[in-house]
Amino acid sequence: MAGWAIVPSGEYPADWPATAKAVKDAAGWRCVRCDAAHAREGWRILTVHHLNGAKDDCRWWNLLALCQRCHLSIQGRVNPDRPWVMAEHTPWFRPYVAGFYAAKYLGEDLTREETMARLAELLELERAAVLG
């Protein structure tokens, strides 16, 4: 789908440095997509990507610890609002998008643990919404 993009919005919260560090700490200072360790060499500096583009949205599922390579790779291509039913989400991405679907379709702000316990159900929400 050409021509779409997530337009970053909002302002970083005042406690953003601590929030970003907590996300990186929770990921063990490794990229959740490629598992590369944080390193200054080779574009493996760990960053925090906002899945929905809203800098002020600090729900766990919206904050992905990604190395710069992965961040740049998915930032322009992954849009959680784009209908997704043709294939399975990749394993690393499933918890994040399931948390997004819980908020989008159920109005529920689930913890990561709650999301993991209901993963299959939450991932099916998108298919049901798109296919009817």
Q: How far apart are the first and last CA of the chain?
A: 21
Q: Where are the alpha helices (DSSP H) in the chain?
A: 16-26, 68-75, 94-101, 112-117, 119-131
At a CB cut-off of 8 Å and minimum separation 6, what does 79 contact?
4, 5, 6
Inter-CA distances, 78 with 11, 12, 31, Å: 21, 21, 16
pLDDT in tens, 2-52: 333 455 677 899 999 999 999 999 999 999 999 999 998 877 999 999 999
Question: What pLDDT shows up at residue 8?
Answer: 64
pLDDT at residue 67 in the model: 96
- CATH T-level fold of 7-78: His-Me finger endonuclease fold (3.40.1800)
pLDDT, greater one: 72 or 79: 72
Sorting pLDDT into bands at 50, 70 and 90, what band is 70? Answer: very high
pLDDT band of residue 86 (cuts 50, 70, 90) is confident
| CB 53 within 8 Å of CB 9 | yes
Q: How many residues does the chain have?
A: 132
Residue ranges of domains in the chain: 7-78, 80-132
